[in-house]
């Protein structure tokens, strides 16, 4: 894969944080999971190379969208949006003061051999952790999206992995929604 294609794949990904729920009809939804834990609910959606997380606690609703396009995205309720290229950290406290969101994003472009090795490692990881997953084939090879959720009393941790064969692109995000214990 040439350098231009690798850069296009990397540069198109972004994280968008919303202070509201998103509607599934806007996305090519392939897997859905809901986790109820204590006072909060986390809903996760997987799409080819993308995901949405919706966190709800009382009157606070937050959604994380990780997506590889910029067009036709909802603009209402956007708190922040930033590109996924390289390494990024982001933190936001919602107005109610009851919910805090933290996210770390890391991207890599790998050679074909390293990409396929990473893909095989992630398939093993899925079997060991019973991860939420969606895989698909493209002309460039096997692709994979994975979500791992760890629900705790006052926070939920979500690790996401998106492996896109075109360009050997790997995107890792680690997100946390935390709230006060009262």
DSSP string, 39-56: TEEEEEEEETTEEEEEEE
**Could you list the residue range(s) of the whole structural domain that residue 94 is in?**
3-179
What pLDDT band is residue 86 in, cutting at 50, 70 and 90?
confident
Residue-wise pLDDT tens digits, 96-109? 768 999 999 999 99
- Does residue 1 surpass a pLDDT of 80? no
Amino acid 139: pLDDT: 95
What pLDDT band is residue 69 in, cutting at 50, 70 and 90?
confident
What pLDDT band is residue 11 in, cutting at 50, 70 and 90?
low
Amino acid 9: pLDDT: 52
- Does residue 4 surpass a pLDDT of 60? no
What's the total number of domains in the chain? 1
Give the mean pLDDT of the chain: 91
What pLDDT band is residue 7 in, cutting at 50, 70 and 90?
very low
Per cent of the chain over pLDDT 90 is 82
**Sign of the Cα pseudo-torsion (47, 95, 57, 21, in order):** negative
Residue-wise pLDDT tens digits, 90-145? 999 997 768 999 999 999 999 999 999 999 999 999 999 989 999 999 999 999 99
> For 89-119, b where at least 16 C-beta lie within 10 A, e where not — what string?
ebeeebeeebbbbbbebebbbbeeeebbebb
Identify the weakest region by mean pLDDT among 68-72, 86-90, 130-134.
68-72
Q: How far apart are CA 41 and CA 19, in angstroms?
A: 15
Amino acid 123: pLDDT: 96
């Amino acid at each position: 894969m040439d350098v231009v294609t690798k850069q296009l794949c990397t540069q198109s990904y972004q994280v968008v944080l919303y202070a509201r729920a998103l509607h599934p009809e806007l996305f090519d939804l392939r897997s859905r999971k809901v986790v109820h834990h204590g006072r909060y609910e986390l809903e996760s959606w997987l799409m080819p190379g993308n995901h949405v997380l919706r966190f709800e606690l009382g009157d606070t609703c937050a959604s994380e969208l990780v997506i590889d396009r910029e067009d036709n995205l909802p603009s209402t309720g956007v708190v922040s949006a930033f590109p996924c290229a390289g390494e990024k950290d982001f933190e936001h406290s919602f107005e109610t003061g009851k919910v805090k969101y933290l996210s770390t994003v890391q991207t890599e472009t790998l050679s074909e051999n390293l990409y396929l090795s990473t893909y095989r490692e992630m398939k093993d990881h899925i079997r060991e952790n019973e991860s939420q997953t969606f895989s698909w084939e493209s002309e460039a090879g096997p692709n994979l999206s994975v979500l791992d959720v760890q629900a705790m009393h006052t926070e939920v941790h979500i690790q996401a992995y998106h492996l896109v064969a075109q360009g050997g692109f790997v995107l890792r995000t680690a997100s946390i929604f935390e709230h006060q214990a009262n």
